[in-house]
A and B are shown apart, each in its own frame.
Chain A
Amino acid sequence: MFRFDPYSPEIDENPFPAYATLRAEYPCFWSEDAQMWILSRHKDIVMALNDWQTFSSAKGNMLKELPGRAGQTLGTTDPPRHDRLRALIQKAFTKRALKHLLEPAQATARKHLEALQGREQFDFVAEFSSNYTVDLIVYMFDLPKEGLDVVRDKAVLMVQTDPVTREKGPESLEAYQWMQDYAGKLIEQRKKNPGEDLLSQFILSEIDGDKLKDQEILLTITTLIMAGIESLSGFMTILIKNITDFPEVREALVADPSLIPDAIEESLRYNTSAQRFRRTIAKEITLHGQTMKPGDKVCLTYGSGNRDEDMFPNADVYDLSRKPKGHLGFGGGVHACIGTAIARLACTTAVEEILKAFPNLSKVEQELRWMPSSNFRSPLELQVKI
């Protein structure tokens, strides 16, 4: 009997065979293990993403939601309030507004790569992507320079789930509380001394003359720090894994760095780190003969939609020339990732600098340990050869 358990270590490691079965045989599958519906075809996921009246985010968007978060963040509210919140933050996140990030990104990438000169191999997670993404968020949010290792550790723990209890483990909950306290202190400081940074802008903003609630500010900032550090670093690690797993891709990028954005888009499609997000049914709907009732939870399996042959022919092949449009690497609909421009800029700059410094970057045979998470997928460590 087919099962699909998004909490299991097997799915953390390789969800793609199970996705193929879901798409082919059980396009609207009730997972006893996760106690939710699983949608796996590209078309169905896009439909759900664009129908927030039926597939609501207001009861949370993580498969196992963090306590008190639903209804208080961008990702966990529905329009129209979502759109007003998003419009406020969005202005700082557009490509145009982010041009100032390019030079600091190049400088921090070079600094961390410099430190690796003379080595034979290194752990891309601990020695590059963690440091690089933390530096970027420090710059954008003007975070204090002290204790950044702890901020990074907590951001990573927050997104994890326990494979046995299928809950957020005590360490994840503690990390979440810690991040809220950290964000709370920042907010207090910025209220007293607002600066030009993104946090200050957000704290001071109003929606139609209506001030943001303290809890909305707190949890949205907590989420932005988590995503800015963990999601970005996780995806960058997957990107480097692909570039080193497929040496012909690396050679093509070294020969022509203008292809780097294509490698990023194909990685977002092929094995994006944001594998699964959740919605909750608000209006009864029948799909593929199954009736989903109000209150039922639904998992939108982006990582599966991205391998759907109806949308992407030869979907299991990493094809640098594919230039995939309509992939779900950043989700979609009104909740599509707000950090897309940052992610693209940060990844393009990182890969440019990495391949300039280490054009022979290559794979090390190793047993990868994957992050235990029902939402995200990335290796906890990735050794690469220089």
Chain B
Amino acid sequence: MRCIMPTVTYVDFEGESTQQELAEGMTLMQGAVMNGVEGIEGECSGSCACATCHCYVDDAWLSTLPEMSENEDEMLDDTASERKPNSRLSCQIKASADLDGIVIHMPEEQE
């Protein structure tokens, strides 16, 4: 059985980056919160109801992501920092082998 821990690179607003290995299935929001990566809040713990885990996904990975739900789309209209074409909620993206190496950028503010 192949057993890897997908790696996620979180880049903060200042450009500093940290890498975290996440268990498969863990969301990128949870990976940030539980590992103390700053810049992702995740107030609603992943129920797609607060838009405080907003991130900008590196363009190279956009096409690999699961499609956005209608609810996520609506929540993204309510982010504290500007919504861009590569905006996603990191609670809706799960770490997986396909996303091993993904890079996400944190916005200036979440609230």
Interface residues of B in 37-54 (CB under 8 A from A): 37-38, 42-50, 52
A332/B50 in contact, CB under 8 A? no
Give which listed residue, B25, B34, B111, contacts A95 with CB less than 8 A. B111
Give which listed residue, A50, A87, A341, contacts B48 with CB less than 8 A. A87
A86/B44 in contact, CB under 8 A? yes
Give which listed residue, A46, A47, A83, A325, contacts B38 with CB less than 8 A. A325
A90–B33 alpha-carbon span in the complex (Å): 18
A334/B43 in contact, CB under 8 A? no
B47/A87 in contact, CB under 8 A? yes
Please count how many residues in chain B sit with their CB below 8 Å of the partner chain's CB atoms.
Answer: 22
Say yes or no: A90-B23 contact (C-beta < 8 A), given A46-B34, A326-B34, A333-B30.
Answer: no
Nearest A residue to B41 via CB reads: A95
Interface residues of A in 210-256 (CB under 8 A from B): none
For A95, the chain B residues whose CB sits under 8 A away are 43, 52, 111
A86/B45 in contact, CB under 8 A? yes
A335–B30 alpha-carbon span in the complex (Å): 12
A47–B22 alpha-carbon span in the complex (Å): 10
For A82, the chain B residues whose CB sits under 8 A away are 47
For B71, the chain A residues whose CB sits under 8 A away are 87
Interface residues of A in 331-381 (CB under 8 A from B): 332-336, 338, 340-341
Looking at chain B's contact residues, is the secondary structure mostly helix, strand, loop, or mixed?
loop
For A94, the chain B residues whose CB sits under 8 A away are 43-44, 49-50, 52
A90/B30 in contact, CB under 8 A? no
The reply on A91 being an interface residue by CB < 8 A is: yes
A83/B43 in contact, CB under 8 A? no
Say yes or no: A90-B47 contact (C-beta < 8 A), given A47-B23, A50-B25.
Answer: yes
A334–B53 alpha-carbon span in the complex (Å): 14
For B85, the chain A residues whose CB sits under 8 A away are none
A86/B49 in contact, CB under 8 A? yes
The reply on B19 being an interface residue by CB < 8 A is: no
A-contact 0/1 string along B70-111, CB 8 Å cutoff: 010000000000000000000000000000000000000001
Say yes or no: A325-B48 contact (C-beta < 8 A), given A50-B25, A51-B25, A96-B111.
Answer: no
Give which listed residue, A47, A50, A332, A334, contacts B47 with CB less than 8 A. A334
A294–B88 alpha-carbon span in the complex (Å): 36
The reply on B66 being an interface residue by CB < 8 A is: no
The reply on B62 being an interface residue by CB < 8 A is: no
Please count how many residues in chain A sit with their CB below 8 Å of the partner chain's CB atoms.
Answer: 26
For A84, the chain B residues whose CB sits under 8 A away are 47
Tell me the total A-B contact number using a CB cutoff of 8 A.
68
A334/B111 in contact, CB under 8 A? no
Nearest A residue to B71 via CB reads: A87
B-contact 0/1 string along A298-311, CB 8 Å cutoff: 00000000000000
For B17, the chain A residues whose CB sits under 8 A away are none
A50/B111 in contact, CB under 8 A? no
A96–B49 alpha-carbon span in the complex (Å): 12
For B42, the chain A residues whose CB sits under 8 A away are 336
A95–B49 alpha-carbon span in the complex (Å): 12
Nearest B residue to A86 via CB reads: B47
B111/A332 in contact, CB under 8 A? no
For A334, the chain B residues whose CB sits under 8 A away are 45-47
A90/B26 in contact, CB under 8 A? no
Nearest A residue to B42 via CB reads: A336
> Distance (Å) between the CB of B79 and the closest chain A CB?
11
A82–B45 alpha-carbon span in the complex (Å): 11
A89–B47 alpha-carbon span in the complex (Å): 10
For A336, the chain B residues whose CB sits under 8 A away are 42, 45
A-contact 0/1 string along B9-36, CB 8 Å cutoff: 0000000000000010110001001111
For A86, the chain B residues whose CB sits under 8 A away are 44-45, 47, 49
For A50, the chain B residues whose CB sits under 8 A away are 23, 25-26, 30, 34
Give which listed residue, B36, B46, B52, contacts A83 with CB less than 8 A. B46
For B48, the chain A residues whose CB sits under 8 A away are 83, 87
A46–B35 alpha-carbon span in the complex (Å): 10
A341–B26 alpha-carbon span in the complex (Å): 23
For B25, the chain A residues whose CB sits under 8 A away are 50-51
A90–B111 alpha-carbon span in the complex (Å): 15
B26/A326 in contact, CB under 8 A? no
Q: List 21 A-B contacts (CB under 8 A).
A: A50-B25, A51-B25, A86-B47, A87-B44, A87-B71, A90-B50, A91-B49, A91-B50, A93-B43, A94-B50, A94-B52, A95-B43, A96-B111, A325-B33, A325-B37, A326-B36, A332-B30, A332-B45, A333-B30, A333-B46, A334-B47
